[in-house]
Amino acid sequence: MLEIAALSHFYGKHQALADIALGINQGEIVAILGANGAGKSTLLKSIAGLVKPAPGATIRFHGQSIVEPPAHLIVERGIALVPEGRGVFGDLTVAENLQLGAYPARARAGEADRLAMILQLFPRLAERMPQAVRTMSGGEQQMVAIGRALMSNPLLLLLDEPSLGLSPLLSREVFRALTQIRSTGLSVLLVEQNVRASLDIADRVYLIESGRNAGSGPAAAMKNDPEIQRAYLGKARVASTPT
Ligand SMILES: Nc1ncnc2c1ncn2[C@@H]1O[C@H](COP(=O)(O)OP(=O)(O)OP(=O)(O)O)[C@@H](O)[C@H]1O
């Protein structure tokens, strides 16, 4: 459903992405792993139309190019970004934030059903519809942010560090929700510093180093890869020959 080739991006003279290639199929969770500054957020922003790729890039969604359209038209095609730091409106209530998510034309049909699905996904939001979002915990705010993105009726959800700053309990709730979202047929592109949890829920993984593709494969295989374990899961390298 999403195909990316030759994606580069420059911030002034600094090249944040260099020739990235990536694909996502319908109903998949794909995780992007990489060190701080590797270019993961820039990749998500490029897909969402918030930063423009260098000339020559291909980004196709359901066969149509999304390199040119502005961000609000990319939302209309069915791509929703939950940015790092969530981007919720703190002074507005949970209900108002969710309602704002339903602004695209594609979200008008079935809005009530979608809201019901989101409240089933995150029952604690149902209890707090009139509460101002700034008075909620970080995890609850993340649920609002994901719920608001889902209100736009997306086909692909882009998530930037959804578990950042959350307690282990709330992180688990968010990751469980992502697997439920996948079961409805949506695709998820996930950038996460919680590598273990993302390998547990992802179908496939791409590694990015200094803005370049550095490997990819099924999450299950990646979990057992000694290099991944050493670089991302904090496991010491085991000597291959006894001394
Ligand atoms: N607006 C900007 N202007 C200039 N340089 C930027 C800008 N945004 C990001 N960069 C630089 O581009 C590179 C990639 O940044 P990006 O935020 O995409 O990385 P990341 O992998 O998401 O990092 P992190 O895990 O720390 O969030 C970094 O070197 C960063 O300093």
CB of 41 within 6 A of ligand 1: the answer is: yes
Q: State the average pLDDT over residues 181-199.
A: 93
Q: What is the pLDDT of residues 121-160, one digit of tens each?
A: 999 999 999 999 999 998 899 999 999 999 999 999 999 9
Ligand 1 atom with the smallest distance to the CA of 17 is 14
Identify the residue whose C-alpha is closest to ligand 1 atom 5: 11
Locus of tokens 């705010």: 141
**100 forms bridges with which residues in the sheet?**
none
Look up the CATH architecture of domain 2-232.
Answer: 3-Layer(aba) Sandwich (3.40)
- Interface ipTM: 0.94
Q: Give whole-number Cα distances, 233 to 13, 61, 121, 196, in Å.
A: 33, 32, 29, 7
Q: Taking 50 as the threshold, does the pLDDT of residue 243 lie above it?
A: no
Q: 209 C-alpha vs ligand 1 centroid, how far in Å?
A: 12
CA-to-CA distance for 157 and 181, rounded, in angstroms? 9
- The structure's pTM equals 0.92
Would you say 17 and 46 are in contact if contact means Cβ atoms under 8 Å apart? yes
CB of 39 within 6 A of ligand 1: the answer is: yes
CB of 33 within 6 A of ligand 1: the answer is: no
Measured at the alpha carbon of residue 153, what is the angle toward residues 152 and 158, in degrees to the nearest 5? 75
Strands 204-209 and 29-33: parallel
**82 forms bridges with which residues in the sheet?**
159
Contacts of 5 (CB under 8 A, 6+ apart): 21, 57, 58
Identify the residue whose C-alpha is closest to ligand 1 atom 1: 11
CA-to-CA distance for 29 and 10, rounded, in angstroms? 27
CB of 13 within 6 A of ligand 1: the answer is: no
Q: State the average pLDDT over residues 88-114.
A: 94
Q: Taking 90 as the threshold, does the pLDDT of residue 165 lie above it?
A: no
Q: Give whole-number Cα distances, 97 to 39, 118, 119, 126, in Å.
A: 29, 13, 13, 13
Q: Is the dihedral of CA 43, 162, 98, 94 positive or negative?
A: negative
CA-to-CA distance for 132 and 89, rounded, in angstroms? 9
Give the model's confidence band at 87: pLDDT under 50 very low, under 70 low, under 90 confident, else very high: confident
Ligand 1 site-directed mutation target among 7, 8, 11, 81, most atoms within 8 Å of CB: 11
